[in-house]
Structure 1
Amino acid sequence: MHGCVSIWKGIAQVSTQSEKTATYIPLSVPHISGNEWEYIKSCLDDGWVSSVGAFVNRFEQEFAAYVGQKFGVATSSGTSALHTALMVAGIERDDEVMVSDLTFIASVNSITYVGAHPVLMDVEPNYLQMDVAKVADFLGKECEHRAGGLINKSTGRRVKAIMPVHVLGHPVDMQPLRQLADKYGLMIINDASESVGTLYHGSPVTRWAEISAYSFNGNKIMTTGSGGMVTTDDEAFAKRAKYLTTQAKDDPVEYVHEEVGYNYRLSNLQAALGVAQLEQIERFVAKKRRIAARYESGLKDMRGLCLMREAPDVFSTYWLYTVQINADEYGCDSRALMARLKAANIEARPLWRPMHLLTPYQRAQAYKIEVTDVLYQQSLSLPSSVGLTDEEQDRVIGVVRNTADAL
């Protein structure tokens, strides 16, 4: 261990000397290294560039199979996938959906899109996921069964679903959450935007939900540029999702529409990119885990840093490697370290501002939020691109170590 520490200290010294002229290291960017160009060219050659084409069908089928589901419906974004999943699940105006307070705003916005209300839940400190114990506490103490279903006693509204957000590539503790959902008659709608390849008890997180939504944004572990996917084992749900995402078109010749639909389709060009990316997903996941292991090796001896953990019986993809910084022990807070990394031409970012602090959701019910506020102040995500080289990662580790040593 002492030899390892001396190596990293040497890297810190080299980093200080060369950082002013060093190339930029982004937080998370796409990795194009397979059949992407070939498949996209075939779309251009054939003329199938819009929302219909063989690659759309292939991507839906192959991705659904990869995450252990019977059906997949490709969408234009992860946000549109979430919106579609909520509509398909029957979430309606003035329903309530329990959702993590620590998430990107798209999770909560999608609930608002259908006229429902979020109930913001705290996260637990070890893995930064929805605190299932507090979910149980809320359901047991703050809700009661009435003729209209499970009613939130403080608002009088029906609690209809739970949306676990599997942040940073690690899953929520799904088995007890599923038990709670079954006990109280609730649906689970997965926000799996950051968890392609994540396993819980040996299975994809989709196993414990009625319906799931994925994102293929440019910063995700695999990308279609912008895109998403709704997955489910329920054929009726899948048909409904396909219907809603294609403008609710009942007759494609006479343009008959019986209800409001959405232009949420993924193009054949984007699906071609997705198929090529999916072919490489195991290598992408392995690289993410290797990056996490190297951060662990390079930073584990440092005071004031709490590194990412992996729960028992979990396979995390470590989408973004995130550290928690105790300013008193480390010597500066997360924002000061972020500024130091920026000065070294390295991108880093804090976790999302908690939903209850954002203007649109300051009046939303936030249940016993304690850990989320601390994590927001202390956490910092470090460069985690699939294409991150060892040399680039050594630079990041060197700056993190050198910042503490210099204080």
Structure 2
Amino acid sequence: MSNLNQVVTFIRDQFNTNEFIPLHEPRFRGNERKYVLETIESTFVSSVGAYVDQFERMMETITETRKATAVVNGTSALQVALQLAGVQQGDEVITQALTFVATANAIVYNGAYPVFLDVDLDTMGLSPKAIADFLDLHGDLREDGCYNRLSGRRIAACVPMHTFGFPVHLDELMNVCEEWQIPVVEDAAESLGSSYHDKHTGAFGRLGVFSFNGNKTVTCGGGGAIVTNDEEFGLKAKHLTTTAKKPHPYEFYHDEVGYNFRMPNLNAALACAQLEQLEQFVERKRTLASDYASFFDGIGIKFRRELPSTKANYWLMCVELENKSVREEFLSFTNANKVMTRPIWQLMFRLPMYQHCFRDDQKNALFLEERIVNVPSSVI
């Protein structure tokens, strides 16, 4: 590509540095130090503390959901959310192959089988049409739920993932899943600050989950959250993720097998300070996205934009190149010049532990896998 020098120069100008430019690094510009020091001084640095409660209330406000539960990371959040939605050993869960491996792993942690269906080209997320086509061919709606005629297994949930913060076609997806009585659990790990028809991602399904990993728009090093509008689910999520311990002043009594998935108060303090800046972070990222769009349009490279009626947080910004060969040239040149770029994930069915899983033709996912590249997306 003759314009790769222009790409590197433009990105360096945006970030105002000749040093290495990472793909996405955190920004600590608010009360992070203050809140963390307060937590240390209080000695409540583990899983009990005021900031854990505050974090949960803030997530409820941001997502406009009734209950939020703080957990140790986004993968654990999805694992528990699927269990709450009714996923059991031997069930199947519809999801996308174009995703980070944690989406598939969380399904398997519940003893279930991923079913990989195609994505839409415009959202890069799970396609409602692909779900409808699969269920029309293989779905069997019974009194106790939807079954896969091919495998005989119950289809216990559907997990769309909002790729890079771009919302999937939620209205259509929710309608298909409602018709087939399949609960939706949103993997909103990448989409904090994104919305669909002015409603926050994660708030559409029976449950939604978020990640606060070190490379996310808002981070606390690790961390995750489960959100839901079902208060019983919210209470159960808190119970399961805190080792299923019954409240008591001093006795230790656990009434079922739970998980030690608690978010430490120290991490929650950092998360609260970051959440206070969420709106500012998203707006700055959206400004960078607009600048990228203008630049890449000018040199004939397609920059991925949000769709009408959606607001994307532009967690990771990306370009769509002509083919795999051009993608490799782009990746090689930019990384050699200390500008970190990254291809989209390898599709899940390419990984040895998921090669046996059902998948449809994956036409769109294969197209995107060969062409999508993430460019530096940190808050400026």
Give the TM bin, normalised by the shorter chain: over 0.9
Is 1:342 the counterpart of 2:339? The answer is no
Query: Corresponding residue for 1:192?
Result: 188
Stretches of 4+ aligned residues off by more than 4 angstroms: 8-16
Amino acid at match of 2:271: G
Is 1:263 the counterpart of 2:260? The answer is yes
Specify which of 238, 242, 248 is matched with residue 242 of structure 1.
Answer: 238
Please state how far the C-alpha of 1:13 moved relative to its aligned partner: 7.0
Q: Tell me the secondary structure at the aligned position of residue 189 of structure 2.
A: coil
**Aligned residues of 1:127 and 1:308 also touching (Cα < 8 A):** no
Distance 1:114 1:10 in 2: 48
Query: Corresponding residue for 2:368?
Result: 375
Is 1:144 the counterpart of 2:150? The answer is no
**Aligned residues of 2:203 and 2:229 also touching (Cα < 8 A):** no
Query: Corresponding residue for 1:318?
Result: 314
Distance 2:277 2:258 in 1: 34
Query: Corresponding residue for 1:392?
Result: none
Distance 2:104 2:200 in 1: 23
Query: Corresponding residue for 2:288?
Result: 291
Q: Tell me the secondary structure at the aligned position of residue 98 of structure 2.
A: coil
Deviates more, 1:250-259 or 1:187-196: 250-259
Distance 1:70 1:131 in 2: 28
Give deviations 1:313-348, integer Å, cap 9, x for gaps.
0111111011111149xxx52122111111111111
Query: Corresponding residue for 1:160?
Result: 156
**Aligned residues of 2:206 and 2:229 also touching (Cα < 8 A):** yes
Aligned 1:108-119 pairs, distance under 5 A? 108-119=104-115
Specify which of 49, 56, 68 is matched with residue 52 of structure 2.
Answer: 56
Query: Corresponding residue for 2:379?
Result: 386
Specify which of 80, 87, 95 is matched with residue 84 of structure 1.
Answer: 80
Q: Is there any run of 5+ residues in structure 1 with no aligned partner, and where?
A: 1-7, 388-407
Distance 1:12-1:336 versus aligned 2 partners, 3 A rule: closer
Distance 2:10 2:223 in 1: 40
**Aligned residues of 1:22 and 1:344 also touching (Cα < 8 A):** no
Specify which of 196, 209, 224 is matched with residue 213 of structure 1.
Answer: 209
Query: Corresponding residue for 2:277?
Result: 280
Amino acid at match of 1:258: D
Residue identity over aligned pairs, in percent, reads 36
Give deviations 1:164-211, integer Å, cap 9, x for gaps.
101111101111111112111111101000000101011112332110
**Aligned residues of 2:323 and 2:370 also touching (Cα < 8 A):** no
What is the RMSD of the two structures over their aligned residues, measured on CA atoms?
A: 2.0
Distance 1:279 1:14 in 2: 30
Q: Tell me the secondary structure at the aligned position of residue 257 of structure 1.
A: coil
Amino acid at match of 2:314: Y
Distance 1:15 1:138 in 2: 42
Please state how far the C-alpha of 1:148 moved relative to its aligned partner: 4.1
Query: Corresponding residue for 1:229?
Result: 225
Aligned 1:36-47 pairs, distance under 5 A? 36-47=32-43
Equivalent pairs, count: 373
Amino acid at match of 2:282: V
Please state how far the C-alpha of 1:15 moved relative to its aligned partner: 8.8
Q: Whose Rg is larger?
A: 1
Distance 1:324 1:131 in 2: 19
Specify which of 108, 111, 120 is matched with residue 116 of structure 2.
Answer: 120
Distance 2:53 2:9 in 1: 52
Give deviations 1:59-95, integer Å, cap 9, x for gaps.
0011111111111100000001101111111210111
Distance 1:259-1:14 versus aligned 2 partners, 3 A rule: closer
Distance 1:313 1:327 in 2: 29
Aligned 1:102-113 pairs, distance under 5 A? 102-113=98-109
Amino acid at match of 2:133: D
Specify which of 61, 64, 68 is matched with residue 72 of structure 1.
Answer: 68
Distance 1:288 1:346 in 2: 18
Please state how far the C-alpha of 1:147 moved relative to its aligned partner: 4.5
- Normalised TM-score (structure 1): 0.88
Please state how far the C-alpha of 1:112 moved relative to its aligned partner: 0.3
Distance 1:127 1:73 in 2: 28
Distance 1:34-1:145 versus aligned 2 partners, 3 A rule: same
Distance 1:375 1:15 in 2: 23
**Aligned residues of 2:187 and 2:202 also touching (Cα < 8 A):** no
